[in-house]
Amino acid sequence: MQMRTQQDMLREAPLAHGESATLWREPRYGDLECLTATFRTHVYERHTHETYVIGTIVAGCERFEIAGVAHAARPGDLCFVNPDTVHDGRPEGAGYAYRMIYPSIDLITDIATDIMGKSPKGTLTFDAPVVRDPELSTAFLDTHQAMQGSEDALCVDEAMISVLRRMLVRHARLDAEDEHLRNERGAVIRTKDYLEANLPENVDLATLAQIAGLSRSHLIRAFKQETGLTPHAFLVDRRVRLARRLLRSGLTPVEVAAAAGFADQPHMTRAFKARIGVTPGAFARMT
């Protein structure tokens, strides 16, 4: 397990007074990303994750918006963001401290399958972005802290799987029906596939509209309705995802910026930090 302290990250990008962020990975859970952070001024731009986001607030209050609905999370609350769900994040008042994990769809599906005795229908979802559950919040916090410092792998593993299992039983749709397909979903899927296949390219809206078979304005509306992002915001979001993978492979930030389609390294740094919370250089040192 590799960790970086606030002092490490200050070499790359100073944090506000009283801020800190430490990220590490747990290979026993499919390279699970874990984060503990305190933010006073940092604001997350609208972004998505290909994983779930699960965590709890340790102190203070974080405000965020999902699907146009504002939420506030405080100590004793559990926070859930489903994969590919657009959200942001910002501190209220003096800020907040939180602990988060980013479990893969496969990890959550495996636990849900064990609970149900069968595979869930489609991608499992949690019912609400914020739920009041002080008991489970405390259990998650204790387990997250143990993951960061305990050498007793079996004890920590049992606790983490138990906590995730209880979260699913209490707060997830364990047998949700597949979502009804919207009429324009096929056009949006074609557009998404094209963008994902051409991340480094300078794609224009006219090309996307032709691929989708929609007018440019219609495509923007349909795409945002389906994904929560405009095509450009989706493209930047996926470029950040690619940048994360390339940084983990050992490429330098300069190399990654070019390979992921950013105009230059500062452009990538702004987009990356706005969505991940740390700069590309700090992320590379943490992982």
The answer to whether residue 156 scores a pLDDT higher than 80 is yes
Q: Tell me which of 116, 141, 173 is where a domain ends.
A: 173
Is residue 190 classed exposed, middle or buried when 0-12, 13-18 and 19+ CB atoms within 10 A define those classes?
A: middle
pLDDT, tens digit, 9 for 90 and up, residues 66-91: 988 999 999 999 999 999 999 999 99
Q: Tell me which of 151, 173, 195 is where a domain ends.
A: 173
Domain membership of residue 180 (yes or no) is no
Question: What pLDDT, on the 0 to 100 scale, is given for residue 218?
Answer: 83
Domain hosting 282: range is 185-286
Question: What pLDDT, on the 0 to 100 scale, is given for residue 170?
Answer: 94
Domain CATH number, residue 226: 1.10.10.60
User: Domain check: are 79 and 127 in the same one?
Assistant: yes
Q: What percent of the chain has pLDDT over 90?
A: 63
In angstroms, rounded to a whole number, what is the distance separating the alpha carbons of residues 66 and 227? Answer: 12
User: Domain check: are 137 and 215 in the same one?
Assistant: no
Question: What pLDDT, on the 0 to 100 scale, is given for residue 15?
Answer: 62
Which has more confidence, 95 or 1?
A: 95
Residue spans of beta strands (DSSP E) within the chain:
20-26, 32-39, 44-47, 53-66, 69-73, 77-81, 87-102, 125-126, 130-132, 172-173
The answer to whether residue 175 scores a pLDDT higher than 90 is no
Question: Total domain count for the chain?
Answer: 2
CA dihedral (140, 65, 282, 11) positive or negative: negative
User: Domain check: are 101 and 149 in the same one?
Assistant: yes
CA dihedral (165, 48, 100, 88) positive or negative: negative
* Nearest alpha carbon to residue 108 among 86, 80, 134: 80
Averaged pLDDT for residues 182-193: 85
The answer to whether residue 176 scores a pLDDT higher than 90 is no
Owner of token pair 């493209």: 235
Question: What pLDDT, on the 0 to 100 scale, is given for residue 221?
Answer: 84
pLDDT band at 206 (very low <50, low <70, confident <90, very high): confident
Decide if 47 contacts 275 (C-beta within 8 A). Answer: yes
Averaged pLDDT for residues 41-57: 94
User: Domain check: are 32 and 77 in the same one?
Assistant: yes
User: Domain check: are 155 and 224 in the same one?
Assistant: no
Question: What pLDDT, on the 0 to 100 scale, is given for residue 183?
Answer: 61
Domain membership of residue 178 (yes or no) is no
Domain CATH number, residue 14: 2.60.120.10
Q: Kindly state the tokens that stand for 42.
A: 């940092």
Domain membership of residue 179 (yes or no) is no
pLDDT, tens digit, 9 for 90 and up, residues 115-144: 888 888 788 999 999 999 999 999 999 999
| DSSP for residue 128 | -
User: Domain check: are 65 and 104 in the same one?
Assistant: yes
Owner of token pair 């960061």: 148
Q: What percent of the chain has pLDDT over 70?
A: 91
User: Left if phi > 0, otherwise alpha if psi is -120 to 50, otherwise beta: which for 203?
Assistant: beta
pLDDT band at 7 (very low <50, low <70, confident <90, very high): very low
The answer to whether residue 181 scores a pLDDT higher than 50 is no
